[in-house]
Structure 1
Amino acid sequence: NIIHYLVILVIFICRSYGQTNFAGIPCGKQFDRVPKIVGGIPTFQNEFPWVVSLKRHGKHFCSGVIVHSRFVLTAAQCVTFKKSIKLSTLSVTTGEYFLNLPEEPNDATNYSVENILIHPNYDKTTHEFDIAMIRLKKSAFISPATWPACLTSYRTRYDGKTGIVVGWGVTDVKNSSKPSIPKLSEVLRKVSVPIWRNKECQDAFNKAKFNFTVHESQMCAGSYGKDTCDGDSGSPLMSKMSYDKKMEVIGITIGGRGCGVLPGVYTKVKTFLPWIEACIAAFESP
């Protein structure tokens, strides 16, 4: 029927944005120029050129993913502030690798934030609809250090497979719960994590008496000693496409209990493909 075909059309359009959002540049290309992640290892520089650092007053507080020349995908919790703030205090750094170097070698570029779009149904208690889009004031410049991510397709399933998550979050589990400012990773790190079925994840939470409900719009990944941690919110959970081996973003880090103790929880990107498309289309319409 007509509704069925309209749904397919919307999904196709969203998928197209994931593929060609830099004027025909194919998404998901990785560049290995040189040989809050717990249990991970440093990435190669430019291995994941779509991962960006979100900063406030020049300090990293979350991560995000380039999905369009003017848009970065992240978690809503990252850009929902207790008090109103000026957008001029926020910036997005593409090409970041060494987090705390005063001058990033060649690749890092800072972009001002023009607007923030938080999903209207975001619930900060349950973390349902924990997703947001950041619009940059100007288009990101394409380079081996700045490249668009591929987004997952609506029909793809990942239960029981292995994903990869990257970020600059805390790497020392012992220090992640201290009240002082946690020490973030000096470089972008990655770790392979098993992807859980939601029911199995919920059972693990219940057994550990962790009062959290895993909703249909969420997914779980991680194992003991391999997880995201403080400072990793907004980081992408990725998996390789079966047909061309490119990385695609399947989840956005939103939290969990502890670091490397129970599976981490992620916003399931494929649930929000129409919303992501609508955000981009709203600003591109004449």
Structure 2
Amino acid sequence: MANTIDNRIILKRFRRIIRGHLAKPEQFPYQVSINNNGDHFCGGALIHEKWVLSAAHCLKYFTSTQNFYAVMGAIYLDRADPKYVQVSRVTAYFPFPRYDPWGNPNNGNITRNDHDLVLLKLQNRIQHTSRVQPIRLPNPIHDKLSLENMQQCIVSGFGTVKDTRQSHILKYLTVPIVEREQCARGHRPKRIKDFHICAGYWHGGSDACNGDSGGPLTCYSNEGPILIGIVSWGVECARHGTYGVYTRVSRYIRWINQTIERYS
């Protein structure tokens, strides 16, 4: 891990959660900013000392990770303190095998951005601190939690506001989990599948947005935060009558564990 941090590598453009709250130090130690030679383009969740989970569509237009960096422990990306922030080059990425960025009805009726997950391998092993720690993955018990027990969920990231003003600050937003049937009313019903989770507000106004993709949807249990979803897609940002759609992490635990074991 480098002892000094070049802020040009950390970020050039800033984007954020719509109507979010300013995150506090140590509040989201698993939050990752993924950038391409200094340009933040997606979020991620630290799930292992050398692995980050994000959205596969973030890498749709890239053919190499040569200039990819993962930034961890930051609240203000333009004022990254090397005492707290850790930066690692991304050396490889592994999208879920059935992910198809364009959709293919001949491939198991997969539509665009189904199975929207990617694992990013870090060059450097992270140092566990109060500001940089992996988040726990869900298990089948968490997947069966009632909606009532999952009401306190949080999405966090550095994404855009609706009027495209830019921010360098980590923001978060509390969002309610929405039943699949209700979510489908705001989208084409066949696009909402059992490997999705929907969250947000029918009236709109608060949501994840561009640049938040790949970031964590975290729900809380007695054991602490659990990574329930990864920001995937939505109709515009915070639009009335629609919800944010997240990839349901619990459906991919076997693939995650097998990939980490094979390529570590």
Q: Is the 8 A contact 1:69 1:140 kept in 2?
A: yes
Q: Is the 8 A contact 1:99 1:168 kept in 2?
A: no
Q: Structure 2: how far apart are the matches of 1:48 and 1:194?
A: 19
1:123 equivalent to 2:100? Answer: yes
Instruction: Trace 1:1-286 onto structure 2 (pairs within 5 A).
Output: 36-81=16-61, 83-85=62-64, 87-101=65-79, 103-104=80-81, 106-125=83-102, 126-156=112-142, 157-160=145-148, 161-162=150-151, 163-171=153-161, 173=162, 175=163, 182-206=164-188, 213-223=191-201, 224-241=204-221, 243-244=222-223, 246-261=224-239, 262-284=242-264
SS for the counterpart of 1:97 is: coil
Instruction: Give the AA of the match of 1:272.
Output: Y
Q: Structure 1: how far apart are the matches of 2:195 and 2:165?
A: 31
Q: Offset at 1:108?
A: 1.4
Task: Tell me what 1:26 maps to.
Answer: none
Task: Tell me what 1:178 maps to.
Answer: none
Structure 1 window deviating more from structure 2 (250-259 vs 124-133): it is 124-133
> Cα distance 1:270–1:146, how it changes in 2: closer, same or farther (>3 A)?
same
SS for the counterpart of 2:74 is: coil
Task: Tell me what 1:179 maps to.
Answer: none
Q: Is the 8 A contact 1:55 1:61 kept in 2?
A: yes
| Uncovered stretches (5+) of structure 2, i.e. residues with no partner | 1-15, 103-111
Instruction: Give the AA of the match of 2:60.
Output: T
Q: Offset at 1:277?
A: 0.5
- Greater than 4 Å deviation, 4+ residue runs: none
TM-score normalized by structure 2? 0.83
Q: Structure 2: how far apart are the matches of 1:167 and 1:249?
A: 14
Q: Deviations 1:130-173 (Å, cap 9, x if unpaired)?
A: 000001112111111110101112232353532111011113x2
Q: Deviations 1:218-271 (Å, cap 9, x if unpaired)?
A: 111011222101110011001101x33x11110000120121122100000000
Q: Offset at 1:105?
A: 5.4
Structure 1 window deviating more from structure 2 (106-115 vs 60-69): it is 106-115
Q: Structure 1: how far apart are the matches of 2:95 and 2:82?
A: 33
Identical-residue share of aligned pairs (%)? 27
| Uncovered stretches (5+) of structure 1, i.e. residues with no partner | 1-35, 176-181
* Number of corresponding residues: 232
